């Protein structure tokens, strides 16, 4: 019979399949008689065991407890048995552990206590669950916890006589259950102890590469204390958990009530299931939503999530290297400091910027200015009176952002400076992009002006000012030298403005998701801008061929950038953050 087309048992309309286990399928269905949604577990049994399953199902159906899933009815049809149960809208503990592990101590303790309550009710009615594991624990959004899958439960005193009748999950079953011996309440306590161990440490104490190896570990391996895997746990909690995992049933807690009382000692005041578990569900949903879009986005999602997770280190590290590296050659060659000590000095600055960039940048600025005294006293005064106020008013508040314009010079060294303004526009908002790109262009121009040989002669000629200012003590003379190229060549004044406009346009067009159009718009403005500047400054001599070649090469690289664009959801989140900041 097609369950998706006809009524099952002349009563239930199958809505969807919820899951599949080793011996059962679970469906979501609509009860046409009671007009309610239910869960139906179809258990595949042979006729020999059908009577036993029916007897045990009837016994379990007598349980009426808030922590145990309610079984409405038991039905048979052919070789199949059906458990009709309440439909739970929640999250299995196994799914939560796949996203959040280990849990917070209060969360793990509350979950274990709620499971104990369910086991107390079951054991009081002479029912042994035999399969306590995260997959059979459902946490509902309102803070309730339900123990499920009593379908393989046994009446107290029943024996697993054959190896084929050893039902359960090997990593969570008790030693006596793994051996096929008679099981009682102590078996469920052992399984719960295994679950609690996993909640606290994110490790299953007994897990081998095969079923045989796992069962051997369950029977013979003494588990490692939980605090050895999670240093935040106490020795008293070790004692509590390990008591539940004793190999011999007589050394475990005498009952689920005794285990619950032991766990109550570790629960803080007011930490009820109604308060703790809804927050756990919300935390899971947030993480699951984030990871789901990462997985759906494929390699781009993983790439941008990696960048997001390591954003601090990936932004601080280049800044720390940039500020720490100059100290090595300056100390070594200007002051004759031994290489080891020079390296130590550069490392100290690197670590300072890496750990505390708001103060490390200030120290680096001041010390770099101080070291300039040996080369040029005038340069020392200029750097001191520019960098110190710059740090106090800007770099102290935005240390990494304040250093980012220097990247314009770095792109120039790589001979792809045109990528810089477009890329900055794609990564931030228009105002910030314009500021960074404008000053980044000035850094690029100053680098070439001071160098002996320009990295991009078609854009900036080399003036070799670095050697010209050596020994100069007059800061005004150095300022005059540095400003000379800008006064002689108006192109050097227009170019930073062009870069700022390119970044702002690329950022504005990019919006939330349009990386390709942002890239194309930015480069179009860049290309047209250079053509316009060249036309207005026709009296100047430019290497137009070299400029066009560099622009063409940059265009090829820029057109590849949209391939690495952030997934849409991340870009929407960044847009929301920008709106909140505004």
Q: Over the stretch 415-447, which tens digit does the pLDDT of each residue have?
A: 889 999 999 998 889 999 999 999 999 999 999
**What pLDDT is recorded for position 564?**
73
With both helix axes pointing from N to C terminus, report the angle between 339-355 and 311-324 in degrees, rounded to the nearest 10: 140
More confident call, 198 vs 298: 198
pLDDT digits (tens, 9 = 90+) for 329-377: 999 999 999 999 999 999 999 999 999 999 999 999 999 999 999 999 9
More confident call, 63 vs 439: 439
183 pLDDT exceeds 70? Answer: yes
Q: Where are the domains of the chain?
A: 12-86, 90-289, 298-397, 407-582
d(CA 115, CA 280): 16
d(CA 471, CA 456): 28
pLDDT band (50, 70, 90) for residue 579:
very low
Mean pLDDT of 193-207: 95
262 pLDDT exceeds 70? Answer: yes
d(CA 351, CA 77): 72
Among 145-159, 318-332, 491-505, whose mean pLDDT is lowest? Answer: 145-159
pLDDT digits (tens, 9 = 90+) for 472-526: 999 999 999 999 999 988 889 999 999 999 999 999 998 766 888 888 999 999 9
d(CA 395, CA 290): 32
8 A C-beta contact, residue 87 and residue 37: yes
**What pLDDT is recorded for position 162?**
42
Nearest to 38 by CA among 61, 63, 18: 18
**What pLDDT is recorded for position 479?**
94
pLDDT band (50, 70, 90) for residue 554:
confident
47 pLDDT exceeds 90? Answer: no
**What pLDDT is recorded for position 113?**
97
Fold for the domain defined by 12-86 = Phosphorylase Kinase; domain 1 (3.30.200)
* Percentage of residues of the chain with pLDDT beyond 90: 58
**What pLDDT is recorded for position 582?**
42
pTM value is 0.58
d(CA 277, CA 108): 10
307 pLDDT exceeds 90? Answer: no
Mean pLDDT of 174-189: 92
**What pLDDT is recorded for position 295?**
63
Q: What is the mean pLDDT of the chain?
A: 86
Can you read off the two tokens belonging to residue 184?
């009682």
More confident call, 206 vs 535: 206
pLDDT band (50, 70, 90) for residue 70:
confident
d(CA 14, CA 26): 10
pLDDT band (50, 70, 90) for residue 61:
confident
pLDDT band (50, 70, 90) for residue 556:
confident
pLDDT band (50, 70, 90) for residue 4:
very low
Can you read off the two tokens belonging to residue 544?
């137009």
**What pLDDT is recorded for position 310?**
78
- DSSP string spanning 525-544? HHHHHHHHHHHHTTTS---H
159 pLDDT exceeds 70? Answer: no
Look-up: residue for tokens 């959801």? Answer: 569
d(CA 160, CA 181): 6
205 pLDDT exceeds 70? Answer: yes
CA 243 from centre of chain: 35
Task: Write down the CATH superfamily of domain 90-289.
Answer: Transferase(Phosphotransferase) domain 1 (1.10.510.10)
pLDDT digits (tens, 9 = 90+) for 456-472: 888 888 999 999 999 99
580 pLDDT exceeds 50? Answer: no
């Amino acid at each position: 019979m097609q369950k998706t087309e006809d009524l099952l048992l002349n009563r239930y309309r199958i809505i969807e399949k919820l899951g599949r286990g080793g011996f059962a399928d679970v469906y979501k269905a609509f009860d046409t008689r009671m007009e309610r949604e239910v869960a139906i577990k179809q258990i595949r049994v042979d006729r020999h065991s059908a009577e036993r399953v029916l007897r045990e199902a009837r016994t379990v159906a007598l349980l009426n407890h808030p922590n145990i899933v309610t079984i409405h009815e038991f039905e048979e049809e052919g070789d199949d048995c059906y458990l009709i149960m309440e439909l739970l809208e929640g999250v299995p503990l196994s799914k939560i552990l796949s996203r959040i592990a280990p849990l917070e101590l209060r969360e793990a303790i509350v979950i274990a206590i709620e499971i104990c309550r369910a086991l107390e009710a079951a054991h009081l009615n002479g029912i042994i669950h035999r399969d306590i594991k995260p997959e059979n624990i459902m946490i509902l959004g309102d803070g309730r916890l339900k123990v499920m899958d009593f379908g393989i439960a046994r009446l107290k005193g029943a024996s697993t006589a054959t190896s084929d009748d050893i039902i359960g999950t090997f990593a969570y079953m008790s030693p006596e259950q793994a051996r096929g011996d008679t099981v009682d309440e102590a078996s469920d306590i052992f399984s719960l102890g295994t679950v609690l161990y996993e909640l606290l440490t994110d490790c299953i104490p007994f897990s081998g590469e095969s079923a045989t190896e796992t069962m051997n570990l369950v029977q013979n391996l003494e588990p490692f204390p939980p605090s050895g895997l999670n240093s935040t746990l106490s020795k008293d909690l070790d004692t509590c958990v390990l008591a539940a995992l004793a190999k011999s049933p007589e050394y475990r807690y005498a009952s689920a009530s005794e285990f619950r009382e032991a766990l109550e000692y570790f629960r803080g005041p007011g930490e009820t299931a109604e308060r703790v578990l809804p927050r756990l569900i919300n935390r899971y949903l947030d993480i699951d939503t984030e990871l789901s879009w990462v997985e759906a986005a494929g390699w781009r999602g993983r790439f941008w999530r990696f960048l997001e997770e390591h954003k601090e280190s990936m932004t601080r590290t280049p800044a720390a290297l940039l500020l720490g590296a100059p100290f090595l050659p300056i100390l070594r060659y200007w002051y004759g400091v031994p290489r080891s000590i020079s390296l130590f000095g550069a490392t100290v600055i690197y670590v300072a910027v890496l750990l505390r960039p708001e103060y490390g940048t200030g120290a680096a600025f001041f010390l770099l200015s101080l070291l300039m005294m040996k080369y040029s006293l005038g340069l020392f005064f200029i750097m001191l009176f520019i960098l110190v106020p710059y740090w106090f008013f800007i770099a102290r508040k935005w240390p990494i952002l304040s250093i980012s314009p220097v990247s314009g010079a770095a792109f120039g060294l790589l001979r792809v400076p045109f990528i810089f303004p477009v890329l900055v526009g794609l990564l931030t908002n228009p105002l910030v992009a314009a500021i960074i790109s404008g000053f980044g262009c000035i850094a690029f121009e100053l680098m070439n002006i001071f160098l002996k040989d320009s990295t991009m002669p078609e854009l900036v000629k080399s003036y070799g000012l670095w050697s010209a200012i050596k020994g100069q003590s007059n800061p005004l003379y150095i300022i005059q030298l540095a400003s000379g190229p800008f006064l002689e060549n108006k192109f050097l004044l227009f170019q930073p403005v062009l870069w700022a406009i390119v970044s702002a346009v690329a950022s504005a067009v990019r919006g939330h998701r349009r990386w390709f159009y942002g890239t194309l718009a930015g480069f179009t403005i860049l290309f047209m801008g250079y053509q316009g500047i060249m036309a207005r400054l026709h009296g100047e001599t430019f290497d137009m061929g070299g400029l066009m070649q560099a622009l063409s090469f940059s265009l090829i690289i820029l057109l590849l950038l949209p391939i690495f664009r952030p997934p849409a959801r991340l870009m929407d989140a960044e847009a929301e953050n920008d709106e909140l900041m505004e």
